[in-house]
Amino acid sequence: MVSALFLIIYNEYYRYRLRGIKVRNSYHFSPAKGWINDPNGTVYVDGEYHLFYQYYPNDIVWGPMHWGHATSRDLMNWQEREIALAPDENGFIFSGSAVIDTDNLSGFGTKEKPAMILMYTNHDPNGNVERQSIAYSTDYVHFTKYEGNPVIDNDPKSDGYKKDFRDPKMFKNEYLGGYSVVFASGSMIEFYHTNDFKNWEKTGEFYPGENGGFDDLCECPDLLEFDCEGEKKYVLTMSCNIDDENKNREHMKFFMQYFVGQFDGKCFVADSDMKERGPLYIDYGPDNYAAVSFSNHKDNVLIGWAENWCYINDIPEKEYRGAMTLPRKVSLVKTKQGLRLSFGVFVTDCHALLKDSFTMKPFDKKSFCDGKIVLETNGNMLTIIRDNTCLKYKSGMLDKAKYQKFSAERVSDGDCGVEIVYDNRLVEIFADGGLLTFTLRID
């Protein structure tokens, strides 16, 4: 009887420190049951953060995608809401975004009570066709799909048909008025514009492969605006799915890259030195994907999916599978190697987190998490080594060079400051003032 009780307590603790069913205190959000992957529709309104996410409520493996929905006032305590969007005659509900229509351009609300507009990809699994649709709500809980969907078509019989045309991220357009949206379209990024959310016009294209980045499948793009020492700059982020792991990046198939540049209201243009610098990474660890920002917020705050497609399905779970990263505030800073993103944990009460801070010399070595993680500094390189006892459910199947050792070049000189946030099976590492981040599972 004592052993059975111990197992119940242990299993409940093992679940990312979650408690309860509908309201939980959690460092990393996960659902009470079912499968989740990409965060969607991240938006801040009336003092509340809304997190929508790719969700399959009927199993702990990927299935017909819904939009799950959770809200929080401090980004640590989350309340699950009812499912926001379910599959329909147009297909599954893939990734997308949300904005608050403060000027009532859509006519779905009023200026006193503006509508929340969701834009998402309808994925028809039978014909592998992806189109863009919208839904709206004035109570921000119950959503109505627009009767004129899809608002951006993608006819498979036309010359303009696009495979992998998805993940719309909307944002307010201060140059043209109205709103713009950035899409992933195969190996390129596309921009569209609207004045009413129902009629969209294409305004530009961006090719990562022609600007120092990777030219494989793009997913979940986002456009962030920064004031960098009085200069307005834009950063285009995106997730990448490398078709051939060995041709581009030695140790990961799924990761995120970003570009620094300008936006003229129609399209993003990368700074000229991007080609020389090569790709820049959001996270150098294996377990941060599809991160997007909260719209309608004064700061750039990103949250991602804290998992990896290479082994997520092998994680031994019973009720749920998948979790989000901690929300991170993003800054754009000047370094000796040019402009770089810097990340820091963004929650109301950072003191509540289990974390550790220390400084490493240029040639130093430290271990933590009972030796499961080792940090090494070798001159200007920082390396994270995940012990081979981690991911034991994939023992003998993962290439150690790709999923156990992760290195990043420092852009700062001298000692390396490190902050580590622990949450049982997830570890988030912030080094050099947040210029280098690593997110790793250690189960």
Residues 6+ apart with CB under 8 A from 399: none
* Comma-separated ranges of CATH 2.115.10.20 domains in the chain: 21-347
Poorest-confidence range of 158-167, 395-404, 421-430?
A: 395-404
Contact partners, residue 389, CB within 8 Å, separation at least 6 = 372
Q: How confident is the model at residue 17 (pLDDT cuts 50, 70, 90)?
A: very low
Class of domain 353-443: mainly beta
**In the prediction, which pLDDT does 2 show?**
34
- Who has greater pLDDT, 398 or 200? 200
Element (H, E) at 8: helix 2-14
As annotated, the active-site residues are 38
Backbone phi, then psi, for 245, in 5-degree steps? Answer: -60, -35
Three-state SS at 39: strand
Confidence check: pLDDT of 16 > 50:
no
Quick: pLDDT tens for 48-85.
999 999 999 999 999 999 999 999 999 988 999 999 99
Average of pLDDT values for 167-171?
A: 98
Three-state DSSP class for residue 245? helix
Residues of the chain with CATH 2.60.120.560: 353-443
Task: Give yes or no for a contact between 187 and 217, defined as CB atoms under 8 angstroms apart.
Answer: yes
The angle subtended at Cα 255 by Cα 42 and Cα 233, nearest 5°, is 60
Q: HSE on the CB side for 127, CA within 13 Å?
A: 14
Residue 208 has a pLDDT of: 94
pLDDT at position 13 is: 37
Q: Please, what sign has the CA dihedral across residues 405, 29, 322, 213?
A: negative
241 and 248 Cβ atoms separated by less than 8 Å: no
Q: Which tens digit of pLDDT belongs to each residue from 264-312?
A: 999 999 998 888 887 899 999 999 999 999 999 999 999 999 999 988 9
3 has a pLDDT exceeding 80: no
Share above pLDDT 70 across residues of the chain, in percent, rounded to a whole number: 90
Predicted pLDDT at 400: 60
Burial 403-433 (b: 16+ CB within 10 A, else e): bbebbbebbbeeebebbbbbbbbbbbbbbbb
What pLDDT is stored for residue 398 in this prediction? 62
CA distance 177 to 190: 18
Q: Report the alpha-carbon distance of residue 393 to residue 268 in Å, rounded.
A: 42
- Residue 386's closest CA among 437, 315, 441? 441
338 against 5, higher pLDDT: 338
377: burial class by Cβ within 10 Å (0-12, 13-18, 19+)?
buried
Q: Tell me what pLDDT residue 45 has.
A: 98
Mean pLDDT of the region 329-345 = 95
Number of residues assigned to the chain:
443
Model confidence pLDDT, tens digit, residues 77-130: 899 999 999 999 999 999 999 999 999 999 999 999 999 999 999 999 888 899
The pTM is what? 0.92
pLDDT over threshold 90, residue 11 = no
Q: Is 405 helix (H, G, I), strand (E, B) or coil?
A: strand
For the cut 70, the answer to whether the pLDDT of residue 131 exceeds it is: yes
Fold of 21-347: Tachylectin-2; Chain A (2.115.10)
Residue 25 pLDDT > 80: no
Rounded distance between C-alpha atoms, residue 385 and residue 36, angstroms = 27
pLDDT of residue 75: 92
CB 203 within 8 A of CB 272: no
Structure-token match 């990448």, residue found = 240
pLDDT at 7: 30
For the cut 90, the answer to whether the pLDDT of residue 260 exceeds it is: yes
The position carrying tokens 């009927």 is 58
Give start and end residues of each alpha helix (H) in 210-286: 245-248, 274-277
Task: State residue 173's pLDDT score.
Answer: 98
**Local structure of residue 115 (DSSP, 8 states):** P
pLDDT(244) > 50: yes
Percent over 90 (pLDDT), the chain: 71
Local confidence band at 249 (pLDDT 50, 70, 90 cut-offs)? low
pLDDT for position 9: 31
* pLDDT of 194 above 60: yes
Computed on alpha carbons and rounded to an integer, the radius of gyration of the chain in Å comes to: 21
| Average per-residue pLDDT for the chain | 89
The dihedrals phi and psi of 253, each to the nearest 5 degrees, come to -95, -35
Q: What confidence tens digit (pLDDT) does each residue in 149-163 have?
A: 999 999 988 888 999
Contacts of 334 (CB under 8 A, 6+ apart): 228, 229
Q: Is the dihedral of CA 13, 17, 23, 25 positive or negative?
A: positive
